[in-house]
């Protein structure tokens, strides 16, 4: 069985492929000849993940899954949410996004937040979604140099380190993306076993 992961991030593909049964082969967008930017115009995280899979299925005919992630901050009524990557503008500048987030939270007592990842899967003309959530807090200043995005200011619940201070293995034990991916893999292993 071949399935497209709607990403060109080769490291993401390697990580997920290593967890899948041997009879499921992952293909990247590049491998199917998809070089255009897939639109992400939905007002929700779920909607963007679904939009990417529908685009690949409609234009390339492959079964496909895609993910979308947002940081939801309680004191900001769930912002930046679906706009997490573009919070400080269309440039998608992580440093500018963090600066804006810390400014917005300056006067706020409640700094609780959560990362939410949704993976959408188009398989044999049916749609499935898998969600992973990691709750925590936004700290007052950046800590750590690993990870990406908001990782330097996000401290998961029950941990003394930010995501950016953790190794990839430590982060993968608890992260939103890892949780959603494990749900997807369980589904695909079960599906693969029934065929």
Active-site annotation, residues: 68
Nearest residue to 134 via CA among 87, 97, 180, 100: 180
- Is 131 annotated among the ligand-binding residues? no
| DSSP label of 73 | E
**Annotated binding-site residue? 8:** yes
Query: Is 176 marked as a binding-site residue?
Result: yes
Is 171 annotated in a binding site? The answer is yes
Is 7 within any annotated ligand binding site? yes
- Quote the CA–CA distance of 151 and 162 in Å, as a whole number: 6
CA distance 150 to 162: 10
Alpha helix positions (H), the chain: 10-19, 45-60, 94-104, 168-174, 176-194
List Cβ neighbours of 158 (8 Å cut-off, separation of 6 or more). Answer: none
Q: Check the annotation: does 35 bind a ligand.
A: no
12 is in an annotated binding site: yes
Q: Is 129 annotated as a binding residue?
A: no
Give the Cβ contact number of residue 178 at 10 Å.
18
Binding residues: 7-12, 68-69, 148-151, 171, 176-177
Binding residues for substrate: 7-12, 69, 148-151, 171, 176-177
Binding residues for Mg(2+): 68
């Amino acid at each position: 069985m071949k399935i497209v992961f709607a990403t060109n991030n080769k490291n993401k593909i390697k990580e997920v492929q290593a967890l899948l049964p041997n009879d499921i082969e992952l293909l990247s967008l590049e491998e199917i000849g998809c070089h255009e930017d897939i639109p992400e115009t939905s007002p929700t995280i779920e909607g963007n993940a679904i939009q990417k899979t529908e685009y690949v299925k409609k234009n390339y005919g492959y079964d496909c899954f895609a993910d979308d992630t947002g940081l939801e901050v309680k004191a900001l009524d769930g912002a930046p949410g679906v706009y997490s990557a573009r919070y400080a503008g269309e440039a998608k500048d992580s440093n500018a996004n963090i600066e804006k987030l810390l400014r917005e939270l300056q006067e706020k007592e409640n700094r609780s937040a959560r990362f939410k990842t949704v993976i959408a899967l188009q398989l044999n003309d049916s749609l499935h979604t898998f969600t992973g959530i990691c709750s925590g807090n936004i700290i007052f200043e950046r800590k750590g140099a690993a990870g990406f995005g908001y990782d330097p200011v996000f401290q998961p619940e029950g941990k003394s380190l930010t995501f950016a201070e953790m190794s990839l293995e430590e982060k993968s034990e608890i992260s939103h993306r890892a949780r959603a991916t494990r749900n997807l893999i369980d589904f695909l292993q079960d599906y693969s076993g029934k065929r």
